[in-house]
Amino acid sequence: MENNTKIKIDHLNLYIGKQHILKDINIEIPENKLTVILGPSGCGKTTLLKCMNRLTDLYHDVKIKGSIYIDNEDVLHTSTDVTEIRKKMGLLSQRPFPLPMNIYNNVAYGLKISGRRNKKALDARVENYLNMVSLWEEVKDRLREPASRLSIGQQQRLCLARGLAVDPEIILADEPTSALDPISSEAIEKKFAELKQQYTIVMVTHILRQARRIADYVVFMYMGEVIEQGPADEVFDNPKMERTKAYLQGAFN
């Protein structure tokens, strides 16, 4: 089955000051699959992810050349408002950052700012999205409690629900399990496996075993360059490049 390309990164170069962080990146990310960006720490994976929803706009002294096409629209050079672009993508960061409000409002926030204020509809949607991340049963009696009282694992699932609530097409996840215990990590991985039916998921990780478990498509990065990319079984079982082989065998981390 041939896949449509959801995100196409075309000759992307990124500099912070004089440092060349991302070097001529060309990637095609398939729709409704889970793509893993794999590589050792400090190779530019997170920066690449943040380019996609233009969070790099926030960083000091960053220069970007090249294009990122999402549904054939170049998000780096477009007249579309950046908030509209960001709405297309839910973000899950390394450590959960719940909003400083109660559990209910964390999920409802995105809906409220896009103008949906009908109480009943909000209630239903909040329940729906909390259910989607299997959090509803755990929190249904304490929706008015501050989100910060939840465990880190619960917070991360809350952040996922909050991101899903604004109807994104893409989920960007930046090492979403790195702060979590094994059980919470597994919960997130399971969720991703379900969610990829409806969403294009791009996940950054440096955990090789995690990548093997869940990836459909793999991009291997090293020192700011894409070394190899392709369907997961090809890259893992038959890597073409020496450096990919070395990494898969644990030569460096």
Q: Which stretch binds other proteins (CB under 8 A): 96-104, 126-134, 214-222, 236-244?
A: 96-104
Residue 115's Cβ-count burial label (10 Å; 0-12, 13-18, 19+) is exposed
**Window 151-190: residues binding other proteins (CB under 8 A):** 159, 162-163, 166, 172
Residue 58 interacts with other proteins (CB under 8 A): yes or no: yes
Q: Classify 75 as helix, strand or coil.
A: coil
Q: Which stretch binds other proteins (CB under 8 A): 20-28, 71-79, 107-115, 209-217?
A: 107-115
- Which residue in 113, 121, 152, 246 binds other proteins (CB under 8 A)? 113
Centroid of chain to Cα 213: 17
What DSSP character marks residue 238? S
**Binders of other proteins: how many residues, by CB under 8 A?**
35
Centroid of chain to Cα 98: 16
In whole angstroms, how close is the CB of 114 to other proteins at the nearest point?
7
Q: Are 239 and 248 in contact (CB under 8 A)?
A: yes
Centroid of chain to Cα 177: 11
The partner residues of 13 in beta bridges, in order of sequence, read 65
How far apart, in whole angstroms, are the C-alpha atoms of residue 249 and residue 253? 10
Q: Which stretch binds other proteins (CB under 8 A): 19-27, 47-55, 196-204, 207-215?
A: 47-55
Binding site for other proteins (CB under 8 A): 50, 53, 55, 57-60, 62, 83-84, 86-87, 89-91, 93, 95, 97-102, 109-110, 113-114, 146-148, 159, 162-163, 166, 172
